[in-house]
Amino acid sequence: MPLPSPASAGLRPIGKLAAATGVKVPTIRFYEEIGLLAVPPRTANDRRMYDDDAERRLSFIRHARQLGFDLDSIRSLLDLSDHPDRPCAEANAIAERHLADVKRKIAQLKALQGELSRMTAECAGGQVSACKVIEALHDHTASL
């Protein structure tokens, strides 16, 4: 049985959903394939049609990805969002784990910044044979 007319039902095709959320069409299809986004109903001519709930869910996924959450964490957060009566401790635990990962990455980046600053500060601008950047890269004992 075909869907009601898209305009009357507040439905939109995948291209309009992509434009509204800033998520590319192949990414939307990928999220459907892995179960983060429900496969939508189709029209009589086999066009996928999305409602406001799909747009809200896709916007949630996009924002979580922008914040660096991995797909498994997003899946868990979506499950929690789908069950609003559950306690939010699990969502907080997911966010705390992600925050710890971010802090670890920041520490690694600061160490990288320090090493690159040291390498470039020691560069005398002479010949490559005396280049501190090249020398530091050959020194495999200096790791971050």
CB 35 within 8 A of CB 74: no
- Rounded average pLDDT over 8-17: 85
Rounded Cα gap, residues 25 and 116, in angstroms: 39
Percent of the chain with pLDDT over 90: 72
Torsion of CA 67, 73, 77, 80, to 10 degrees: -160
Rounded Cα gap, residues 114 and 117, in angstroms: 5
86 φ/ψ angles, rounded to the nearest 5 degrees: -75, 155
CB 98 within 8 A of CB 68: yes
- Rounded average pLDDT over 28-35: 97
- Rounded average pLDDT over 21-38: 97
pLDDT at 7: 47
**What sections of the chain are H helices per DSSP?**
6-9, 14-21, 25-33, 52-66, 71-82, 89-121, 132-138
DSSP bridge partners of 13: 49
pLDDT at 144: 55
Residue 127 CB contacts under 8 Å (≥ 6 apart), including other chains: none
pLDDT at 84: 92
The residue among 3 and 41 whose pLDDT is bigger is: 41
Cα of 23 vs its chain's centroid, Å: 11
Give the model confidence (pLDDT) of 41-99 as tens digits. Answer: 999 999 999 999 999 999 999 999 999 999 999 999 999 999 999 999 999 999 999 99
pLDDT at 137: 81
Give the chain's largest Cα–Cα span: 76
CB 73 within 8 A of CB 94: yes
CATH class of the domain at 1-69? mainly alpha
